[in-house]
Chains A and B, each alone.
Chain A
Amino acid sequence: DQQVKQNSPSLSVQEGRISILNCDYTNSMFDYFLWYKKYPAEGPTFLISISSIKDKNEDGRFTVFLNKSAKHLSLHIVPSQPGDSAVYFCAASETGGSEKLVFGKGTKLTVNP
């Protein structure tokens, strides 16, 4: 059973506009969330994270929002650039014992010039 879900396989946006990538989770024990960017045939690279004690974390053009009651998080990229085109993965982790780190299926973002 998939515990981290990214229901949109792909997203296409225009350069300069906002990209919003969504992620849902089912395990209420998850309390640390991460976003990764991945190019084909390479390892993912870390973008931004958020702890469950926060509802927003911002780093430059990237902002992650967490809605614990809805078990939903989103990644906002503003403004979007062609170099942002990649697959984005959402991941979730439990603290307090298990080090398990679970990923979603990813969303392929295409930013058109």
Chain B
Amino acid sequence: DGGITQSPKYLFRKEGQNVTLSCEQNLNHDAMYWYRQDPGQGLRLIYYSQIVNDFQKGDIAEGYSVSREKKESFPLTVTSAQKNPTAFYLCASRTGSRTEAFFGQGTRLTVV
């Protein structure tokens, strides 16, 4: 079955540590996205990528980094510079700008 997979579902890290969230898709989609959801804040765009080896900052990119070395994969690193990393992170992908995006099931990151 085609889909988009985020792992792990729950992640705990100590303050000051970097952590990488995985996102893999087998839908052959060109564009991939990372969002963060906080209570009352909706889905805020962190980074997005239109094509392999290229990505753009979203609205809240500070403290995050990404890579897009393969079409199928778009990992997100939450660095120690991110002031409030505890959140629900969602990855999405889509074919192009006039199509719907498909989402993974999310990763709940808790930093203690």
Instruction: Give the interface of A toward B (CB within 8 A).
Output: 6, 9, 32, 34, 36, 41-46, 49, 51, 89, 91, 93-96, 98-106
Residue of B nearest to A103 (CB): B43
Determine whether the beta carbon of B100 is less than 8 Å from that of A9.
no
Give a binary string over B59-77; 1 marks a CB under 8 Å from any A CB, 0 the rest.
1000000000000000000
Cβ contacts under 8 Å, B101 to chain A: 34, 46, 91, 101
Q: Are the CB atoms of A41 and B97 closer together than 8 Å? A: no
> In chain B, residues 85-110, which have Cβ atoms closer than 8 Å to a Cβ of chain A?
88, 90, 92, 94, 96-98, 100-106, 108
Q: Does B31 contact A (CB under 8 A)?
A: yes
Instruction: Tell whether, in the assembled complex, residue B105 and residue A43 are in contact, meaning their CB atoms are under 8 Å apart.
Output: yes
Question: Measured between C-beta atoms, what is the minimum distance from A44 to chain B in Å?
Answer: 5
Bound CA span A56–B96, Å:
21
- Closest Cβ of chain A to B92, distance in Å, is 8
Residues of B within 8 Å of A102, CB to CB, are 45, 59
Contact in complex: A89, B97 (CB < 8 Å): no
| Interfacial chain A residues near B100, Cβ < 8 Å | 34, 46, 49
- Known A32-B98, A103-B42, A105-B42; contact A43-B106, beta-carbon cutoff 8 A: yes
Can you identify 19 A-B contacts, CB atoms within 8 angstroms? A6-B42, A34-B101, A41-B88, A41-B106, A44-B103, A49-B100, A93-B97, A93-B98, A98-B56, A98-B97, A99-B48, A100-B48, A101-B45, A102-B45, A103-B43, A104-B42, A105-B41, A105-B42, A106-B42
Most chain-B CB neighbours within 10 Å: which of A34, A42, A45, A100?
A100
